[in-house]
Structure 1
Amino acid sequence: MGSSAARENQYLLVFGATMALRERAVVAALRVFDGPVVTIARSHDARAAKFFDHVLLGDFSDPEASLKAVVDFEKETGMTPAGVVPFFDPGLLPGRAIADHYGLPFLSRQAIEDSSINKNRMKDRLLAAGVATPRYITVDGLESVRAAVAELGLPCVIKPAAFGGSLGVRLITDEADIPDAYATVRGIITANAATFTVKNEGIQVEEFCSLSEEVSVEVLTHGERPQVLAVTDKSHGPRPYFAEIGHRVPSVHSERADVIDLAERACTAIGLDRGVAHVELRLEGDQPPQIMEVGARTAGDGILDLVERALGFSPYELHIRSYLDRLDGPLPQVRPVGLAALAVLKAPAGRIARIRPARTVDAAVRSYEVFATPGAVSSGQQANYLHREGYVECFWPGAAPESVPRSAHLDVAAELATEIFEMEPVDSGLDFTRS
């Protein structure tokens, strides 16, 4: 699978490659596409914009604004996209609009709207196809939440019908929790909907899935037959939240036939037929697994970086080739060369007084990055992806998943956070979960 040559005056348009822990999408684009690589950003100071040949100014999450930015660029330069590739949810509908305008390959609009950008439609499609997933009830006010809880039983989960990164996802274990849980979810939707031009501001109450382990499955959906590329073990922070705090590749469950089958059937039920999809499911022992979400885009949180390091191929490259309709030749053979993991850096509760360079790091550490700055306030607990101070990436060469303790990467992150964050007290009474 060599480089995909661009015709004169054509470029590759990508969405979401400027986000933290998705940057290697740019590396893959440069490997695959022999021509300019372009993105859309709201301002010239967009993160990682220096890696693109052109940055078009516009709202990357709004279909009309994104299409206008591309059309205006064509009028100015004569250049048109040879392909449009989404790496995150906000780029799906804008990418569809641009692909329609230029007659380019892309996911169908129905498949996009039936994926995790609309969790109501996603669950309807899964349940209709007989794919195991928790039931849900749409709610539109406090009393309807109470009614849904009464019907589904406790515990249950309340969440936005859109958004990712665990934003607004919260466990309800007692009827007394309902008012605060509903207010928190509604507040998070109000605070973040404009950031990603999210028009779906619905809320759902979902059955609680008691299966104790979670994995994500990266599935290549090119044509009629989906194929699992990798399975990732996931770790979560303490309840009542479901924040993801760590990932490991390959999973101890990578060879489970029921996991592979369920993930592939979920992609088929949603109608995905292009690119790498991100499927999350829960499992425990020999009980049947259940699907939690199906994302019509590549994974975030550096998961595909872990796949590349541990398994020796780039899912980003396959994703790009699929959107260019240039995915030919045999798929890579999976040959694990070690265990790769990523864990969130979380500062203790308080205000960050100073960030110190690490004097020593564990031998498994390959890199770490701190997002927070001195003066920032840490809740000490992660409710969603916004409550992180950084991350650390680890690698154990030649190690099998069973040979490394399941918490090893989390332990490395905790030790590193203790060393680098110097904290000071902050006024109590602040509610960090609503930010």
Structure 2
Amino acid sequence: MGSPAAGKDQYLLVFGATMALRERAVVAALRVFDGPVVTIARSVDARAAKFFDHVLIGDFSDPEASLRAVLDFEKETGMTPAGVVPFFDPGLMPGRLIADHYGLPFLSHRAIEDSGINKNRMKDRLLAAGVATPRYVRADDLDGVRAAVAELGLPCVIKPSAFGGSLGVRLITEESEIAEAYATVRGIIDSNAATFTVKNRGIQVEEFCTLTEEVSVEVLTHGDRPRVLAVTDKSHGPKPYFAEVGHRVPSVHSARTDVLDLAVRACEAIGLDRGVAHVEIRLEGDRAPQVMEVGARTAGDGILDLAERALGFSPYELHVRSYLDRLDGAAPPPHRPRGLAAIAVLKAPPGRIAEIRPAREVDAAVCAYEVFAAPGSVSSAQQANYLHREGYVECYWPGAAAESVPRNAHLDIAAGLGAQIFGMEEADGER
């Protein structure tokens, strides 16, 4: 059911719904809001722009540029936003400025600045609240990284204080790796900060969390008491990187009350009180879990699509309703899972891709797959972050419990598809 009719001169402004694997945010916006849905893009050829009623041209990650685009659109058409909804980190500060200008509901400045867009402030807030999370040391240069490693000990993790998608996150196990790891992280920061208008160019060195499993917890933070919506099992590629290569909903840990309570406490510590938050937690056996990150926005990588398929409701819709102050009891009761949904990264062998071939055999669990790469693309030997992917595959096992499907089934399906799809150029010695 849609929302009450919007004013004829009002629209819903969304940030981040054009990103790959977040497209169903647009579907949710159209279901909830009875009026035009608008986004901001840097150019008219933006991905998925055709799904919006209007695309405002501007820098979606720069607050002043985004507000300017909205004000120019108001001068041109007389239309103003009825709500502003962020679906990714770069839209948080621009969305806040626009919401302030028009007096619309939004997260507080403090909650945004203390979330995953500034991992130092996030850690400080969690530690001050007694929420279990690895210690960290801020480092501004190579000498600072060396001092942080000496303080925390090896192994440890180096990462940008901003950014997501595993950009720049790397394990350091030997002192001889420090200089190269620092140079890599600094290069990633410098090359990506301008892309996303990120002013925070700091580096964080974090003690290594030895817990071997990871989940993400999607939490509806509207009102006084956050509420858990879904728990996702996460899979990572090989060290020294922490790239996410697959997700499953529901998690085999969905009933662990210590994990659910920790996610809620983390959101409360950050001060989140609107929308769906994304909390990443490490765990292992009966050891105490630890929070790795708290994102003041919806999950990426199609995780909310998996939740909708497996649990029967749309977290995206709840997120939009929260930012419009129109939840009206719409938060769903606990849902019995209808099956197991999963997504996995498609990865080509290292080298240059010669051709993209149709798959000859597709597992019955496959719902859909998409290839991002094209002939001539170069596949990296390892997936260091979200940029090192050639595509993805979505799977669904109707009626299946999480424990009844092998933990790596979606990863195995992805590996089999990749072997069929990607034709690689022969190395010189093989010709």
User: TM-score band (shorter)?
Assistant: over 0.9
Q: Which residue of 2 aligns with 1:385?
A: 386
1:299 is displaced (CA, Å) by: 0.2
User: Matched residue of 1:34: which SS?
Assistant: coil
- 1:256 matched to 2:256: yes
Q: Deviations over 1:383-408 (max 9, x none)?
A: 00000000000000000000000000
Q: Which residue of 1 aligns with 2:305?
A: 305
Residue of structure 1 in register with 2:176 after alignment: 176
1:223–1:274 Cα contact (<8 Å) kept = yes
CA contact (8 A) 1:158 1:181 kept: yes
- Secondary structure of the residue that 1:5 maps to in structure 2? coil
Q: Contact conserved, 2:105 with 2:324, CA < 8 A, in 1?
A: yes
Amino acid at match of 2:398: P
Structure 2 portions without partners, runs of 5+: none
Q: How does 1:125-144 map to 2 (within 5 A)?
A: 125-144=125-144
Counterparts of residues 370-381 of structure 1 (less than 5 Å): 370-381=371-382
- The letter of the residue matching 2:399 is G
Give distance in 2, aligned partners of 1:389 and 1:253: 29
Q: Distance in 2 between matches of 1:362 and 1:87?
A: 32
Corresponding residue number in structure 1 for 2:414: 413
Identity of aligned residues (%): 83
The aligned counterpart of 2:46 is 46
Whether the 8 Å CA contact 1:40–1:66 is kept in 2: the answer is yes
Contact 1:4 1:326 in 2 (8 A): no
Instruction: Return the TM-score normalized by structure 2.
Output: 0.98
Q: 2:360 is matched with which residue?
A: 359
* Distance in 1 separating the partners of 2:243 and 2:5: 41
Q: Give the root-mean-square deviation of aligned CA atoms.
A: 1.1
CA apart distance, 1:2: 4.5
Aligned to 1:86: 86
Given that 2:318 and 2:330 are in contact with CA atoms closer than 8 Å, whether structure 1 keeps it comes out as no
CA contact (8 A) 2:38 2:55 kept: yes
Question: Matches of residues 65-214 of structure 1 in structure 2 within 5 Å?
Answer: 65-214=65-214
Structure 2 distance, partners of 1:4, 1:308, is 24
Structure 1 residue 31 corresponds to structure 2 residue 27:
no
| Displacement after TM superposition at 1:201 (Å) | 0.3
TM-score using structure 1 length: 0.97
Shift in Å, 1:4: 3.8
Partner of 1:431: none
Q: 1:331 deviation in Å? A: 2.0
Tell me, yes or no, if the aligned pair for 1:346 and 1:380 is still in contact at 8 Å: no
Shift of 1:329: 1.8
Matched letter for residue 54 of structure 1:
H
- Which structure 1 residue ranges, 4+ long, deviate > 6 Å from structure 2? none
Equivalent residue number for residue 63 of structure 1? 63
Change (3 A) 1:244 1:349: same
CA drift at 1:327? 0.6
C-alpha displacement of 1:330: 4.8
Q: CA deviation at 1:8?
A: 1.7
Amino acid of the structure 2 residue aligned with 1:86: P
Contact 1:276 1:296 in 2 (8 A): yes
Deviation (angstroms), 1:297: 0.2
Kept in 1: contact 2:2–2:33 (CA 8 A):
no
